[in-house]
């Protein structure tokens, strides 16, 4: 099996600040490289996520919703579950926020409301010639 490129740690994978100054940037210090072994990791697609939990931990379920419009008529099968503490969840939130911000800066804002993304008149308008014939 070919070796995958090593994942670089994100801003959220290393603590920020020093014990006396929480949240202060550590520009003078180099972040330690964290080695990972992802040989047993499984890659799974998900278009559904549910977050529940307790006062001590978060439970994040992932699955595939085969009926993405409206209310599903059948149960959504959960294929992966991550249970984590709130400290790790906050670091993950920070890493995801930075990643989404970089993506949107490059490709534009991501609209999460499906109804705003689906514009049924766009296809029919594109096929209708403009007023006055439009051809020369």
Give 60-88 pLDDT, tens digit per residue.
999 999 887 778 888 999 999 999 999 99
Binned at pLDDT 50, 70 and 90, residue 16 comes out as very low
More confident residue, 53 or 32: 53
* H-helix segments, 1-136: 86-107, 114-117, 121-127
Q: Residues 60, 38: contact at Cβ < 8 Å?
A: no
Question: Across all residues in the chain, what is the average pLDDT?
Answer: 78
CA atoms of 65 and 74, how far apart (whole Å): 9
């Amino acid at each position: 099996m070919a070796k995958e490129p090593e994942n670089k740690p994100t801003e959220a994978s290393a603590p920020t600040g020093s014990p006396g100054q929480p949240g202060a940037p550590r520009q003078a210090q180099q972040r330690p490289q964290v080695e990972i072994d992802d040989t047993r990791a499984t890659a799974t697609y998900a278009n559904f996520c549910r977050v529940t939990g307790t006062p001590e931990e978060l439970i994040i379920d992932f699955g595939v919703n085969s009926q993405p419009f409206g209310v599903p008529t059948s149960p959504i099968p959960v294929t992966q579950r991550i249970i984590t503490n709130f400290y790790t969840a906050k670091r993950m939130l920070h890493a995801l926020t930075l990643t989404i911000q970089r993506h949107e800066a490059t490709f534009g804002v991501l609209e999460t409301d499906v109804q705003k993304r689906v514009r049924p008149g766009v296809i029919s308008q594109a096929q209708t010639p403009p007023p006055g014939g439009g051809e020369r």
